[in-house]
């Protein structure tokens, strides 16, 4: 039997957005604008043998600079999920945006292996990542952390597909960022796909509507196809920023902000 995990989504931040901010070229749909809440999550896959954290949240400073509401910092959010940083074996970064890598310092003093795709690392540490429409989604100091981790031999760079651990697989899909990854987790009742920002909102998948922040539109559409196929095959897809995650998976929370994706 393959190894299985319990999966949690930890909601550590939120903001009020609008459909026109969220969806690429929203005017093309000829619909009135509407308010749309945006939640900020990271994810946990754990079993008795191992705890893996997928993404780390934004830092208090980078969240505040963008007007986001931080509900819990990374340490408090981990604690809410019942995790101490030094218990974490691996940290997967689905991409390098500020709201996914900003909590990394919590893990720099631990032995955790940090994993991201090579394409993502190369893009953001290279010249194109500094162009205006890209750079505002990252923090230069946080990209320096990635460089330092790499130099220290702490950062594993993954290819298109990478086995993180038994029952845990990273798949690069691109689109939102050049090396955007999703993580598939073996769980009781079937696999869970942590889509992160390959699918911010279920509406992207269900109405085929790309998100406004995009590195390659054709890749984003192709990622929708790939993730839909995973869903059609029985996987539970967890969107990266959608308040519907709490509705679709919520039940009694383990703690405020902790949504249990898997229930035995
Ligand atoms: Zn992103």
Cα(204)–Cα(114) distance, rounded to whole angstroms? 29
Rounded distance from Cα 253 to ligand 1 centre (Å):
26
Q: What is the CA radius of gyration of the chain?
A: 17
E-state strands within 103-180: 113-117, 155-158, 161-165, 168-172
Cα(173)–Cα(176) distance, rounded to whole angstroms? 9
- What pLDDT does 220 receive? 98
Rounded distance from Cα 177 to ligand 1 centre (Å):
7
Give tens-digit pLDDT for 153-205.
999 999 999 999 999 999 999 999 999 999 999 999 999 999 999 999 999 99
Rounded distance from Cα 138 to ligand 1 centre (Å):
9
Q: Mark residue 174 as left, alpha or beta (left: phi above 0; alpha: psi -120 to 50; beta: remaining).
A: left
Give tens-digit pLDDT for 231-246.
999 999 999 999 999 9
pTM over 0.85: yes
């Amino acid at each position: 039997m393959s190894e299985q995990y319990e999966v949690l989504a930890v909601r550590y931040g939120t903001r009020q957005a609008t459909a026109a901010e969220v969806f690429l070229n929203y005017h093309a749909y000829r619909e009135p604008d509407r308010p749309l809440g945006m939640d900020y999550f990271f994810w946990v896959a754990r079993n008795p043998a191992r705890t893996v954290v997928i993404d780390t949240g934004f830092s208090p400073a980078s969240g505040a600079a963008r007007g986001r509401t931080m509900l819990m910092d990374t340490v408090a959010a981990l604690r809410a999920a019942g995790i101490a940083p030094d218990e974490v074996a691996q940290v997967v970064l689905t991409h390098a945006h500020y709201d996914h890598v900003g909590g990394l310092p919590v893990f720099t003093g631990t032995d955790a292996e940090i994993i991201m795709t090579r394409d993502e690392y190369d893009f953001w540490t290279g010249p194109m990542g500094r162009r205006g429409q890209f750079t505002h989604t990252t923090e230069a100091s946080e990209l320096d952390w990635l460089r330092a981790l790499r130099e220290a031999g702490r950062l594993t760079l993954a290819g298109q597909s990478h086995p993180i651990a038994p029952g845990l697989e990273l798949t690069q899909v691109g689109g939102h960022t050049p090396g955007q990854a999703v993580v598939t987790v073996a769980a009781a009742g079937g696999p869970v796909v942590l889509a992160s920002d390959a699918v911010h909102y279920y509406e992207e998948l269900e109405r085929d509507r790309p998100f406004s922040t995009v590195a390659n539109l054709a890749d984003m559409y192709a990622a929708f196809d790939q993730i839909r196929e995973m869903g059609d095959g029985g996987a539970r897809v967890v969107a990266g920023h959608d308040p519907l995650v709490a509705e679709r998976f919520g039940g009694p929370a383990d703690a405020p902000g902790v949504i249990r994706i898997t229930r035995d």
